[in-house]
Amino acid sequence: MLFYWFIFLLIATIALYYRDKKVAFYFIALLLMVMGVIRARTVGSDLNGGYWSEYIAMGENPASWGIVMHQFEKGFSWIMAKFKFNISKDPLIFFHTLFFITFLNYLIFIYRESKYKWLSLVFMMAFAYYFQLYNGMRQEFCYSIILLALSFYILRRQKYLCFILVVIVVSFLFHKSMILMLLLIVLHHFYTKFTTKFMIMAIVISSATSLTLARFASEQMSLLSIYLDDGTSNFSNYMQNTSLMGQYSQISNLLNSLFCIYTVYTYRYKKNFFLACYVFGIILLNILTPINWIFQRIAYPFMFYRIITYADLWYDIPKKNEKILFRFAVILLAIIMFQNRLIADNYQDVVPYISVFF
């Protein structure tokens, strides 16, 4: 665990104090990339679980796919099989390559869309989005492609149809839950109409009535699940299962909600698409996690954009005292969230960090 704290403090120091910010971004990006592509099999739950066994067991014939991980979408299984029988039968080489491509997509998005990209990378690690690349590899690979589509088709050229096609195709090929990213179009179209008061009230209502809203959402999701059920989908099963209702961290949700409210108020001086996405993610977190903790993975892709919002606020808050207060608050939150992530699963997830070389 101390290794991660050392890396976190190192990249934070470089981001804040190294004068050439472009060099700082490239150094941090390279360091995090190397960490991911040389990590051992034991770092991250996916490599240490069914992903590894599925890769070893699968053959070239599609009939042999899904012996271990029946929930894999056909597109992901096809990529695994093609890599195995054309490039390398070593699972570690495949998953390291997958990490490289996924994180590279993230880096391209952050480089293009974050004004303070060097600090956004620090927040990406602080709030555990970096560790998601170790543990949600299918979803993260799918989402990274959607990030590129968002940058190239929506934020720059507003080609909504192209974005819709990309989201639909990659969702059904790699991870069905990512079909919800179509909501980014709605957020992009209306975010300029979202007032500070409206966003704060939406967060408060979703937090205060989370269990009531969760029960209603659960009923609707159960009805919608039939459209995603192909006989192998874990996602559709989660949508129908209510046995874990209420088994979630209320403290974590409350802390996230309160800080989001604070962020919205602090960002009151201008409209921002990424802020709207962050707020929507918090609302989803409040409504969906009471149904099943796994649904936090639906909220996280929307909450991800806070790494850009926080970086903007770090530098751009016009009032000096307010800027100092925000910096103190976000540092405190980052420390809490980072430590909380490291101790997840009784130190048996990403901790300890082990390299394939040592």
Tens digit of pLDDT per residue, the chain (358 long)? Answer: 789 999 999 999 999 999 999 999 999 999 999 999 999 988 887 777 789 999 999 999 999 998 888 889 999 999 999 999 999 999 999 999 999 999 999 999 999 999 999 999 999 999 999 999 998 899 999 999 999 999 999 998 889 999 999 999 999 999 999 999 999 999 999 999 999 999 999 999 998 887 676 565 555 555 455 555 555 555 555 555 554 444 456 788 889 999 999 999 999 988 999 999 999 999 999 888 877 777 788 999 999 999 999 999 999 999 999 999 999 999 999 999 999 888 875 566 788 888 888 6
Q: Which of 247, 196, 232, 215 is nearest to 67 (CA)?
A: 232
pLDDT on residue 347: 62
Which residue in the block uniquely carries the two structure tokens 């029988």?
Answer: 85
343 lies in some domain: no
Where do runs of H (alpha helix) occur along the chain?
2-17, 21-37, 50-57, 74-86, 91-113, 117-126, 129-135, 137-149, 160-174, 183-190, 196-208, 210-224, 234-240, 250-266, 273-288, 296-303, 306-316, 320-342, 344-347
pLDDT on residue 210: 72
> Are 153 and 60 spatial neighbours (Cβ–Cβ below 8 Å)?
no
200 lies in some domain: no
| CB-based contacts of 83, cutoff 8 Å, min separation 6 | 94, 97
Range of the domain at 47: 1-174
Cα four-point dihedral sign 42, 48, 52, 57: positive
357 lies in some domain: no
Angle, helices 183-190 vs 160-174, to 10°: value is 150
185 lies in some domain: no
pLDDT on residue 229: 55
How far is CA 130 from each of CA 4, 133, 150, rounded to the nearest angstrom?
12, 6, 19
Q: Which residues of 38-60 are buried (b: 16+ CB within 10 A; e: fewer)?
A: bbbeebbbbbeebbbebbeebee
Per the DSSP assignment, residues forming a β-bridge with 39 are 355
CA distance 352 to 213: 38
* DSSP per-residue letters across 28-42: HHHHHHHHHHTB-TT
31 lies in some domain: yes
111 lies in some domain: yes
> Are 191 and 276 spatial neighbours (Cβ–Cβ below 8 Å)?
yes
pLDDT on residue 247: 47
352 lies in some domain: no
pLDDT on residue 222: 55
Q: Which residues of 15-35 are buried (b: 16+ CB within 10 A; e: fewer)?
A: beeeeeeeebbebbbeebbeb
What global pTM score does this model have?
A: 0.91
What's the longest Cα–Cα distance across the chain? 64
The DSSP 8-state label assigned to residue 265 in this structure reads H
pLDDT on residue 346: 58
Number of domains in the chain: 1
Angle, helices 117-126 vs 320-342, to 10°: value is 40
How many CB atoms lie under 10 A from the CB of residue 201?
Answer: 12
